[in-house]
Amino acid sequence: MSSSDEEGGGGGEEYLFKIVIIGDSAVGKSNLLSRYARNEFNPHSKATIGVEFQTQSMEIDGKEVKAQIWDTAGQERFRAVTSAYYRGAVGALIVYDITRRTTFDSISRWLDELKTHSDTTVARMLVGNKCDLESIRNVSTEEGKSLAEAEGLFFMETSALDSTNVKSAFEIVIREIYSNVSRKVLNSDSYKAELSLNRVTLVKSETDGSKQTSGYFSCCSR
C-alpha cells in the first residue's frame, strides 16, 4: 500500500486520467499535444510511429489532477497494438483537419474504434484543428458542431500553430472526466475497481453541485 486513505486530511488525493488523441494522419495530433504539454509547435513534424505520451497537471477544486495524454499514428501501418492504446482511457480527443474533408469523413470510423475498445465512460471532444487556415477551410464550423451534437461530443476548433483553444480543449475534457468520476458511479463496485485499476482515485462521496453543461461549443472564427 502506498498512500493510504486520509479521512478529512484534504491532501492525499491523487488523480491520474488517461486521455487518447485519435484521428487521421497529419491532422495535427502530435502538435496539439506538444503545444499543450510543452508549448511547442513543429512545422515539419514527421508522422508518428507507435505510441508516445506526455503527462500534464492542472488544478481542480484545489486538487492536483494529472492527465496522461497518449498520441499514436494516424497511419494504419504505424499503429501499435490498438487495444492497448485505448485500455483505461477515460477521455478522448477525436481530431480532424478543417482543410481536409476526408479527415472529417473519417470521424465516424474513429468513434466506432473508440467505442469498440473502451470499457468505461469516455469524455469525448471533437476537435477541428488548423483553424488558422481559414482561407482554405473545407469543413464549416456548423458541420463540426452538428456532428458533435448528433454524437453527444464536446466540440472545438483549434490551432496548434497559433495556440487557439488548445489548452481549453484539453482542460474541458479533463474537467469533464473529473466531474464524471466525482459525480456518478460511486455506487458501483465494479466501476470503482475498474477505475482503481486505471489508477484513478475516487473522491469520497461528495455532492458536487457544479455540473458542467454538456455541449460546450467554441471555435476560433468569431
Q: Given CA atoms 162, 165, 169, 174 in this order, what sign does their dihedral have?
A: positive
Considering beta carbons, is residue 47 or 193 the nearer one to Mg ion? 47
Q: Which does 75 bind (CB under 5 to 8 A by kind): ligand GTP, Mg ion, none?
A: ligand GTP
CA angle 132, 130, 169 (to 5 degrees): 105
Q: Given candidates 34, 48, 99, 164, which one binds Mg ion under the rule CB under 5 A?
A: 48
* Contact yes or no for 198/88 (Cβ under 8 A): yes
Q: Which stretch binds Mg ion (CB under 5 A): 4-12, 32-40, 45-53, 143-151?
A: 45-53
With cell 471555435, the residue in question is 219
Q: What is the largest CA-CA distance in the chain?
A: 56
Q: Which stretch binds ligand GTP (CB under 6 A): 57-65, 128-136, 183-191, 207-215?
A: 128-136
- CB nearer ligand GTP, residue 63 or residue 137: 137
Residues 155, 168, 75, 197: what is their CA dihedral angle, to the nearest 10 degrees? -100
Q: Provide the mask over 146-175, with x wherever binding to ligand GTP is found by CB under 6 A and - wherever it is not.
A: -------------xxx--------------
Number of amino acids touching Mg ion (CB under 5 A): 3
Say if residues 138 and 98 touch (Cβ distance below 8 Å). Answer: yes
CB of 208 to ligand GTP, least distance (A): 34
Q: Does 45 bind ligand GTP (CB under 6 A)?
A: yes
> Which of 68, 42, 46, 45 lies closest to 57 in space, CA to CA?
68
Residues that bind ligand GTP (CB under 6 A): 25-31, 42-43, 45, 47-48, 73-75, 129-130, 132-133, 159-161
